[in-house]
Chain A
Amino acid sequence: MDGKKTPLYEEHNLLKGKIVNYAGWLLPVQYEGLVPEHNAVRNAAGIFDVSHMGSIFISGKDSKNFLDHLMTNDISKLNQNQIVYTFMCYPDGGVVDDLLVYKYEDERYFLVVNAANLDKDFQWLLDNKGDYEVEFDNISQDTCILALQGPLAEKILQMITDIDLSLLKFFHFNEKVKVDGIEAMISRTGYTGEDGFEIFVKNDDVVRIWKKLLEVGSEFGLKPTGLGCRDTLRFEAALPLYGNELSKEINPLEAGFKFFVKLKKESDFIGRESLVKQWENGLERKLVGFEMIDRGIPREGYEIYKGDTKIGHVTTGYMSPTLNKNIGNGLILIEESELDSEIEILIRNRKAKAKVINKNFLKDR
């Protein structure tokens, strides 16, 4: 199989990971199985190799203004060592990417972007640089990222970390940490709906930390976890995936993420005019959650109907391992999006009934 390898590739093979090509990278979709790995993250902890993610430093005296010009969230309100989730949009409001922005200081920020979008994002930064005094440093090739996720993540990581992790708040980071004696940056972030950390280290150090975490974590039920459960976990937690819930054609308001689009922030940003207009005129489509009433599992791309009228499509769907129900997200016409309204999913030429529910599937767990 062709593709780029992270420095952990051999470790994945040793652990019998089933390797797939994801966004050009050879990564494990699962080790022992999607469901046990999913449950490990919900109940104990899992460790993911997410070194394929892109990492870019932004520095220079206009860094803050530049980012506020590109990002939908309010970068000017960020404190040092704080992180925000945000979108970069096209002028029509469609999404270039969804990403995290880490503030080191007023003149230095760090972006973590989707692997599949890295080249496009970097070009987008260059294309919009204009007269801003900023520099970009794409360190993706030299940086590895481990995501340690689950209710026991803190307990496990604390055993080999020199700072008090209980003081590291959600969506904050510390860039001067020693993990097993090795310099690392740690953020309290993740993509699973559970507590957890993302650990940024140099390529040469990652194998040692990966092994050490698995060693000290095994007594707590820590498992190596693959991309398969990463998707079911993020989906259950209503976290969007670029290409499914967000895209060039699906804007963040339609996807229900207005909280991360500060239409009234001080600085103008790319896409604002169009998004304001759409918001004021009323959206045409909305991303909803739904639960199957009839038998069948909804899958990405399946068409959604109300009677004979096609009203949208499934963006993600699964048999949810946590809830043991067949659930999905669908982008549908807003007039059909009310809670409890009945819709139909076209599954292999058969229409199966479903009901619109809150897309925060874990809310009543």
Chain B
Amino acid sequence: MNVLKNLYYTEDHEWLKVNGNEAYVGITDFAQEQLGDIVYVELPEVDDELDKDDVFSAIESVKAASDIYMPVDGKILEVNEELLDAPELINTDAYENWIVKIELTDEAQLEELLTSEEYEEFIAEEE
């Protein structure tokens, strides 16, 4: 299971790649493997302002739909429209294929997220 260093993680299996007060958000390699073949990704609207734990996307495999939650408060700056026609890109590389780019409302919230080491431990217990 691939877990990249220097990213933030959540227990809902999302990753954040932070640059200043902006961050790319996607789902982890562990999550894509659990979901199986991804066939649909629903994206939010640009400029949507969302709170931590709000649903901002849904990822569907043939079998089921899974809601994806905001890891922190933020405003949607960009959505990865490539996923609309090629949702399977997330299966190919879950870290390369981000879902949204957000503007962080409160950078201090990052401290509540997991480090790569903590996330590795977390998924070791899930398996």
Which A residues have a C-beta under 8 Å from some C-beta of B?
29-30, 33-35, 38, 228, 232, 295-297, 299, 318-319, 321, 326, 347-348
Q: Is B84 interfacial (CB-CB < 8 Å)?
A: yes
A45 CB to nearest B CB, Å: 20
A295 CB to nearest B CB, Å: 7
Question: Is the pair A295, B37 in contact by a Cβ cutoff of 8 Å?
Answer: no
In chain B, positions 5-23 with a C-beta closer than 8 Å to chain A are none
Q: Which of B39, B55, B61, B64 contacts A348 (CB 8 A)?
A: B55
CA distance A319 to B42 in the complex (A): 14
What is the chain A residue whose CB lies nearest that of B37?
Answer: A35
Q: Which of B58, B62, B67 contacts A319 (CB 8 A)?
A: B62
Question: Is the pair A297, B36 in contact by a Cβ cutoff of 8 Å?
Answer: no
Which B residues have a C-beta under 8 Å from some C-beta of A?
36-37, 39-40, 42, 55, 58, 60-65, 67, 84
- With A30-B36, A34-B36, A35-B37 given, is the CB distance from A232 to B62 under 8 Å? yes
Question: Is the pair B61, A34 in contact by a Cβ cutoff of 8 Å?
Answer: yes
Inter-chain contacts of B37 with A (CB < 8 A): 33-35
Task: List 29 interface pairs A-B (beta carbons < 8 Å), by A numbering.
Answer: A29-B63, A30-B36, A33-B36, A33-B37, A34-B61, A34-B62, A34-B63, A35-B37, A35-B62, A38-B62, A228-B62, A228-B63, A232-B62, A295-B40, A295-B42, A295-B84, A296-B42, A297-B39, A297-B40, A297-B60, A297-B65, A318-B62, A319-B39, A319-B40, A319-B60, A326-B40, A347-B42, A348-B42, A348-B58
Question: Is the pair A321, B84 in contact by a Cβ cutoff of 8 Å?
Answer: no
Given A296-B42, A299-B64, 19 further pairs, Cβ under 8 A: A29-B63, A33-B36, A34-B61, A34-B63, A35-B37, A35-B62, A38-B62, A228-B63, A295-B42, A295-B84, A297-B39, A297-B40, A297-B65, A318-B62, A319-B40, A326-B40, A348-B42, A348-B55, A348-B67
Inter-chain contacts of A38 with B (CB < 8 A): 62
Question: Is the pair B62, A299 in contact by a Cβ cutoff of 8 Å?
Answer: no
B37 CB to nearest A CB, Å: 5
- With A348-B42, A348-B55 given, is the CB distance from A299 to B65 under 8 Å? yes
The 3 closest A-B pairs by CB, nearest first: A319-B39, A35-B37, A34-B62
B127 CB to nearest A CB, Å: 12
B121 CB to nearest A CB, Å: 22
Most buried by B among A296, A297, A299: A297
Inter-chain contacts of A321 with B (CB < 8 A): 62
What is the chain B residue whose CB lies nearest that of A227?
Answer: B63
CA distance A347 to B67 in the complex (A): 12
CA distance A348 to B39 in the complex (A): 17
B85 CB to nearest A CB, Å: 10
Inter-chain contacts of A228 with B (CB < 8 A): 62-63
Inter-chain contacts of B65 with A (CB < 8 A): 297, 299
What is the chain B residue whose CB lies nearest that of A29?
Answer: B63
CA distance A30 to B40 in the complex (A): 19
What is the chain B residue whose CB lies nearest that of A326?
Answer: B40
CA distance A29 to B61 in the complex (A): 13
What is the chain A residue whose CB lies nearest that of B67?
Answer: A348
CA distance A297 to B66 in the complex (A): 12
